[in-house]
């Protein structure tokens, strides 16, 4: 996005109880270029694909294949492709960057310290995201305030300065876990099998574990780190 278009973008003001379709409509109308949904094939993203299919089928979907996703994640992607005749724009890490990282630091460098983990996420997620968002006016996410201590300050529509000032649209901002699952069940949506095996939050396989009773839903992500650090750099 050019500097000129960044300067004229304004974030729509929405009521605190605005629904997902209102948030989507406002974000799509305000964006100065194409808008895409970033999909990790979580239950939230599956819900969003179903909503978009009904109200904004022109919105494209992209996904980041880090090279370390669970097989169950690919199963959901394929189920969605078949159900909605969905064209998914896949983005992969740069081959040379992955090869260099693994040659120099091995396969599990991300568990050594926070800097190493951020480096791995930058190579496998952040750089591909930059390519996925090139030329976009906005992107849609499945972020919810209830997911994490790092997400309580989210707005329905934000200016994403970390990615060039485009709009970041969060239609499920205020949805509870119960609302998400009720919608998925009511509409018989394909859901990642790992969700029912104790994985409320699913990322790369080596960085995700099932949670124990009483743990926070994001406790299984990078479980060796403090809660305030549990973002991969996609949502800065």
Segment 2-15, tens digit of pLDDT: 333 344 456 788 87
Q: What would the two tokens of residue 47 be?
A: 């819900």
In contact, 98 and 127? CB cutoff 8 Å: no
pLDDT of residue 218: 85
Residue 144, pLDDT > 50, answer: yes
pLDDT of residue 12: 80
Rounded Cα distance between 27 and 12, Å, is 7
CATH number of 19-229: 3.40.50.620
Question: Average pLDDT for residues 84-89, to the nearest whole number?
Answer: 97
pLDDT of residue 191: 97
Residue 127, pLDDT > 70, answer: yes
pLDDT of residue 2: 38
In contact, 144 and 173? CB cutoff 8 Å: yes
Q: What would the two tokens of residue 220 be?
A: 């299984």
Mean of all residue pLDDT scores within the chain = 90
* 39 labelled catalytic: no
Q: Domain-by-domain residue ranges, the chain? A: 19-229
pLDDT of residue 152: 61
Segment 150-203, tens digit of pLDDT: 556 788 999 998 898 999 999 999 999 999 999 999 999 999 999 999 999 999
pLDDT of residue 230: 60
pLDDT of residue 232: 57
Selecting among 39, 120, 207, 232, the annotated active-site residue is: 232
pLDDT of residue 17: 81
């Amino acid at each position: 996005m050019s500097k000129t278009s960044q300067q004229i973008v304004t974030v729509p003001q929405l009521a605190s109880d605005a629904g997902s379709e209102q948030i989507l409509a406002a974000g799509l109308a305000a964006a100065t270029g194409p808008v895409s949904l970033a999909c990790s094939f979580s239950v939230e993203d599956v819900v969003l694909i179903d909503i978009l299919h009904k109200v904004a089928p022109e919105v494209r979907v992209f996904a980041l294949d880090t090279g370390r996703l669970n097989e169950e994640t690919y199963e959901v992607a394929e189920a969605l492709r078949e159900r909605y005749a969905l064209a998914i724009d896949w983005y992969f890490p740069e081959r040379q960057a992955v090869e260099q990282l693994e040659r120099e630091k091995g396969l599990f460098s991300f568990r050594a310290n926070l800097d190493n983990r951020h480096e791995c996420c930058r190579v496998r997620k952040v750089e591909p995201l930059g390519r996925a968002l090139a030329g976009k006016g906005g992107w849609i996410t499945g972020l919810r305030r209830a997911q994490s201590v790092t997400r309580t300050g989210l707005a329905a529509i934000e200016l994403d300065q970390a990615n060039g000032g485009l709009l970041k649209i969060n239609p499920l901002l205020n949805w509870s876990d119960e609302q998400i699952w009720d919608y998925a069940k009511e509409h018989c949506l394909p859901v990642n099998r790992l969700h029912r095996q104790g994985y409320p939050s699913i990322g790369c396989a080596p960085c995700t574990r099932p949670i124990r009773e009483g743990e926070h839903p994001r406790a299984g992500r990078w479980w060796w780190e403090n809660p305030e650090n549990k973002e991969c750099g996609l949502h800065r």
